Amino acid sequence: MNKPVVEVTVQSDAFHVSADASVLACELHGALAVCLYDDTQGVGGLLHLKYVARSDGKALDVTDNTLSSDLLLMDRFCKELRAVGARKQSWRVTILANTPAGLQNAAATVLDLVKAYFADSRLPVECKEYERATTMSIRFDSREGRIWAKSNQDTPAVA
């Protein structure tokens, strides 16, 4: 009997890992999502990092402390993926970033950090950057690695 697919919302500066049939979702606005999928084990996870303050829409101060916190969160994310069976040599990494106009510098710093972190994987990191004033919805099928991205201006598209 098939289990129903559960949708899990991943808040900013958090992650979720799943070995079950689930869709991981987040809303990007001045933030990025790392969708990581092991195509040999059917295990995936979504990490949601922000680089824009929520209240006033200005860029966060990208300090050493901020970047260190991001690194620690990425380490925890990867450790949890390995704990549920993901094998690093089989990881498929996709980074989706939504940057409002005028905040490219803060975005570039965080994106460069994330790209460098995953650059040691044997497979290339795919990165899709969007400049949108609207929020983007990301949906990630953790068992099959499919990604859907849409904004208020778009119709749904498979990434």
CATH topology of domain 6-158: 60s Ribosomal Protein L30; Chain: A; (3.30.1330)
More confident residue, 132 or 12: 12
Asked whether 139 and 108 are in contact (CB, 8 A), the reply is no
Contacts of 147 (CB under 8 A, 6+ apart): 35, 94, 96, 138, 139, 140, 141, 158, 159
- pLDDT of 108 reads 80
The CA-based angle 116-77-52, given to 5 degrees, is 65
For residue 134, the SS3 value is coil
- pLDDT of 21 reads 84
Domain ranges (residues) in the chain? 6-158
Please state, as a whole number, how many other Cβ atoms lie within 10 Å of the Cβ of residue 88.
14
Least confident of 21-25, 56-60, 145-149: 56-60
